[in-house]
Chains A and B, each alone.
Chain A
Amino acid sequence: MGPFLCTTSDVPEGGRKSVQPESLPELVVCNVAGTFYVLAATCSHGEASLAAGRLLGCELECPLHAGRFDVTTGGATRRPAKKPVETYQCVEQDGGLYLTDAASSAASASQAA
């Protein structure tokens, strides 16, 4: 199991939260109808944290230029954003949310890049 992200109660349904695990880029945890999704928080378009944006259904909206991303795939769904953001697998255990090992190394690699 990878690093701890937050408790599940930190992110109610329809909510999103910025998390900053050590040695990893800022991530955003989204709760869509009880399912948790984790994405790289920095928008692929402008320099902004998606964690400060609105979660609308399964779309996370950038607070800067209002581009949107599908949190289930990371794909850009609304202009001006075009490039996807990274998504990461997470697991839930004892009320805590953790990156999977694979997701953790992917995030580290993306941080290094």
Chain B
Amino acid sequence: MTEVKERINPPLDAPDAAEEQYRWNRRYPELGTGPITTDRFLSEEHFERERKLVFGKSWLNIGSVHDFSGNGSFFVRDIAVLDVSLLVVQDEQGTVRAFHNVCSHRGNKLVWEKSGPCPYLFACRFHGWGYKQDGALASVPDEGEFHFGSDDKNPGKDGLGMVPVRTEVWKGFIFVNLDASGTDSLAEHLGPLGESLKDFPFDALELRHRYDVSDEANWKVILDAQNEIYHLPMLAPLHRFLGGGAFATNEDGYTRLLDFERLGLHTVFTSDSDIEWVDTPMRTAVAKAHPDGGLTTLPIRGPFVFHVLFPNMVLGFLGDFMFTYNVWPESVDKSVWEIRMHFPRPDTLADRVIHDLMKVRFRDLLCEDVTGHAALQVGLKSRARDVFVVGDQEVQIRSFHQNLDEYMERGNRG
């Protein structure tokens, strides 16, 4: 299936550490214990600050190299919250660049297709100006009629290429930063999170499934709802039956985080296996028929590992597959939840069947989540309460909002 066979399971802090009350508050007292305001999910003013100070300044994941069909191909990424369209190109040598998808002539949106092999030149549909894969302007129809200059005020042809956007690739994931004056590198942004995954064998996985879900909720409602497992045993009818043995509960039936870490702007939490879990008849039958199939072979710390990459990406592992989320705000109460599922390359048909079963199970769980997100937004929007409370087993949410506040504060100071 994959050459990676060893699973890393570090020892717990102590056998009874998971039951220590307020364990995460003790580890991260700076996160406090107070409530979280609901206004941040509803206010246009807050949304505007996020747009400008977070999405306008942070590194953002816009896809992965799996979105290309190979060297010499492209995809277009529209980012509604920033009102930009990007043309992302992997050239013949494999270098990835992103540009504003805008023709330098009259400002037309240059490429209208979503993806494909690079054409001879990226030619504007309006008047046919053509650009090379590196963004350079190569062809201007009736060029002699233009008054090209040679300075910033009146640039020449050399200065009229597509406008590049800061672009970096990490482990196959493509990130852009729309803050042209920013100087921080992607490595600096990822910080200890990037370090913690530096040896992870991302190459052993391939992108298999994509879902783009229109979600009637603020982007943080979606992230928060995913960024905890307190709800797993309760949310019915699907979560409690299809969560599988990936979420250990204590003897009272409540989930306990195996671990939680703040990694710079980012976080990661892990759950432990539920050894008493009785799976569905189909999953049990499949496991019996193919005992070697679908085993966890990725080097992860538990059966469920959930990284939140600030601001809006999730990189998670569940058993033998990896999923990513990108939650893109469209307005204060509307978002697109992009879900991508990556699996090890299957050796046999049985592997493939097991993967597809996992896909269907995961998809059904997330359908239940989508309904929940919309209901959360309705409840918050009623403004019945100005604040809500989170428990110690939801520490991830507390951390995310504190990071968000601090990031915006820093951005405000310039």
Contacts and interface: CB of A to CB of B under 8 A. Distances in A.
Contacts of B234: 65, 80
B142 interface: no
B252 A79 contact: no
B195 to A, nearest CB: 37
B252 to A, nearest CB: 7
A45 B236 CA distance: 16
Contacts of B316: none
A17 to B, nearest CB: 26
Contacts of A45: 252-253
Interface in B90-118: none
B240 interface: yes
B251 interface: yes
Interface in B350-409: none
B71 to A, nearest CB: 49
A81 interface: yes
Contacts of B240: 79-80
Contacts of B253: 45, 67, 79-83
Interface in A76-94: 79-83
Interface of A is mostly: loop
B249 A79 contact: yes
Interface string B328-368: 00000000000000000000000000000000000000000
A80 B251 contact: no
B233 interface: yes
A24 B143 CA distance: 97
Query: How many interface residues does chain A have, given as a range?
Result: under 10
A103 interface: no
A67 B254 CA distance: 13
Nearest to B239: A79
Nearest to B250: A82
B389 to A, nearest CB: 18
A83 B253 CA distance: 8
Contacts of A79: 233, 240, 249, 253
B252 A66 contact: no
B365 to A, nearest CB: 15
A103 to B, nearest CB: 25
Nearest to B247: A79
Nearest to B274: A79
B252 A83 contact: yes
A82 B249 contact: yes
Interface in B248-263: 249, 251-254
Most interface-central of A45, A79, A81 (chain B CB within 10 A): A79
A65 B252 CA distance: 13
Interface in A1-49: 45
Nearest to A77: B278
Nearest to A46: B253
Interface in A46-67: 65-67
Contacts of A83: 251-253
Contacts of A66: 236
A38 B392 CA distance: 37
Contacts of A81: 253
Nearest to B241: A79
Contacts of A82: 249, 251-253, 276
Interface string B154-186: 000000000000000000000000000000000
Contacts of A67: 253
A52 B233 CA distance: 21
Most interface-central of B233, B236, B249, B276 (chain A CB within 10 A): B233
A45 B233 CA distance: 11
Nearest to B254: A80
Interface of A: 45, 65-67, 79-83
Interface of B: 233-234, 236, 240, 249, 251-254, 276
Given A67-B253, A81-B253, 15 more contacts: A45-B253, A65-B234, A66-B236, A79-B233, A79-B240, A79-B249, A79-B253, A80-B233, A80-B240, A80-B249, A80-B253, A82-B252, A82-B253, A82-B276, A83-B253
9 smallest A-B Cβ distances: which pairs? Answer: A80-B233, A80-B253, A82-B253, A45-B253, A79-B240, A79-B233, A83-B251, A82-B251, A81-B253
24 contacts: A45-B252, A45-B253, A65-B234, A66-B236, A67-B253, A79-B233, A79-B240, A79-B249, A79-B253, A80-B233, A80-B234, A80-B240, A80-B249, A80-B253, A80-B254, A81-B253, A82-B249, A82-B251, A82-B252, A82-B253, A82-B276, A83-B251, A83-B252, A83-B253
